């Protein structure tokens, strides 16, 4: 399975946070799955750090350095991903999450997320 980590899932994984579900941990540690994180998540983290919403993280560079040490693929945003956002029903107001849904749909991925609003979309998701 190709797993696209939602931003919070990626942050919780690299920081070994207790909020990461036991099922999520099993999925992340299963070598049969290919793991992905979008550059969209790095952008979201950078904004949240600059707003003081992630006090435990000194910067997005720290996060990017941490993901280099784990088997995960960093995805760019393509024009096709952006086009798919336009076709999505407006079930979620967060533009980062809407783009992650579009990426998952375009690339045939399952989103690893605790966000109930993402689970409303016609895209595979797990937690």
For 16-72, write each residue's pLDDT tens digit. Answer: 888 999 999 999 999 999 999 999 999 999 999 999 999 888 899 999 998 988 889
The residues spanned by each domain of the chain are 2-126
Burial class (CB in 10 A: 0-12, 13-18, 19+), 94: middle
Q: Dihedral (C-alpha) 10, 13, 18, 19: value to the nearest 10 degrees? A: 30
How far is C-alpha 60 from the chain's CA centre? 14
Q: Considering the entire predicted model, what is its pTM?
A: 0.94
Mind listing the pLDDT tens digit for each residue in 37-50? 999 999 999 999 99
Residue given tokens 């190709």 in the structure block? 2
Domain 2-126 grouped into CATH 3.40.50.1010? yes
């Amino acid at each position: 399975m190709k797993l696209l980590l939602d931003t919070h899932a990626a942050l919780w994984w690299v920081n070994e946070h207790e909020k990461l579900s036991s099922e999520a941990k099993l999925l992340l540690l299963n070598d049969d799955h290919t793991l992905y994180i979008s550059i969209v998540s790095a952008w979201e983290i950078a904004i949240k750090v600059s707003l003081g919403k992630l006090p435990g993280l000194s910067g997005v560079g720290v996060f990017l350095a941490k993901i280099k040490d784990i088997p995960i693929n960093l995805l760019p945003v393509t024009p096709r991903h952006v086009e798919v956002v336009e076709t999505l029903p407006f079930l979620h107001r967060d533009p980062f999450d809407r783009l992650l849904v579009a990426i998952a749909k375009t690339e045939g991925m399952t989103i690893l997320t605790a966000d109930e609003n993402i689970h409303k979309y016609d895209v595979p998701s797990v937690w």
